[in-house]
């Protein structure tokens, strides 16, 4: 089983229609068979806050915000209990390793937590969007794949994990 780290900028796209939504959906549909998804518990906070920001920007109504956040949390819980996704707690050990990374690489605290959680949990690859791949690729030994690639290129890169 290959562990794939779901960074929030990639996972968020599963709930909003935009470039990359099809690719993250492709991965989520394969979870439990070929892959296990991993993410930090912090991801739940970041995406929830992201939905609130979308409401503040007028992209969602207050009623939709409430419904979509509940749907998102239920969907993640369903993936969790069916063992398709693992949620990794932000532990003392991850915090301590993240501090080193923040000091040495001048990272956002959340970037450091995601990188260290991925490494700690044995992920082979991290999925992000184009914005984050540039920043994170410099500081982690993990393979990073953008979900904003074309579908063909994305699947080709995912398939390299099996070779």
Q: Which residues bind another protein (CB under 8 A)?
A: 8-9, 12-21, 25, 28, 32-33, 46-47, 49-50, 53-54, 57, 59, 67-68, 70-71, 74-75, 78, 81-82, 108-111, 128-132
Q: How far apart, in whole angstroms, are the C-alpha atoms of residue 46 and residue 64?
A: 18
To another protein, the closest distance from the beta carbon of 115 in angstroms equals 13
The minimum distance between CB 82 and another protein, in angstroms, equals 5
Residue with tokens 């991801």: 43
Q: Which is nearer to another protein, 46 or 158 (CB)?
A: 46
Q: Are 92 and 44 contacting, i.e. CB atoms less than 8 angstroms apart?
A: no
Phi, psi of 18 (to 5 degrees): -165, 180
Q: What percentage of the chain's residues is helix, strand, coil (to nearest 5)?
A: 60, 15, 25
Nearest-approach distance from CB 143 to another protein, in angstroms: 19
Q: At 108, list the tokens.
A: 């956002």
Strands of 62-155, DSSP E: 85-88, 125-128, 143-146
Q: Indicate the residue among 108 and 150 with the shorter CB distance to another protein.
A: 108
Choose between 95 and 109: whose C-beta lies nearer to another protein: 109
The distance of closest approach from Cβ of residue 86 to another protein in the complex, given in angstroms and rounded to an integer, is 16
């Amino acid at each position: 089983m290959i562990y794939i780290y779901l960074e929030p900028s990639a996972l968020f796209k599963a709930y909003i229609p935009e470039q990359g939504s099809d690719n993250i959906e492709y991965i989520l549909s394969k979870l439990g068979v070929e892959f296990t998804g991993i993410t930090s518990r912090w991801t739940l906070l970041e995406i929830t806050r992201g939905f609130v920001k979308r409401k503040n920007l007028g992209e969602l109504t207050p009623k939709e915000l409430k419904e979509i956040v509940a749907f998102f949390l239920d969907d993640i819980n369903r993936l969790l209990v069916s063992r398709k996704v693992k949620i990794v707690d932000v532990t003392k050990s991850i915090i301590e390793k993240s501090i080193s990374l923040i000091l040495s690489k001048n990272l956002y605290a959340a970037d450091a937590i995601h990188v260290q959680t991925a490494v700690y949990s044995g992920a082979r690859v991290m999925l992000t969007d184009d914005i984050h791949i540039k920043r994170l690729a410099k500081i982690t030994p993990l393979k990073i794949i953008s979900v904003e690639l074309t579908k063909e290129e994305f699947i080709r890169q995912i398939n390299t994990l099996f070779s």
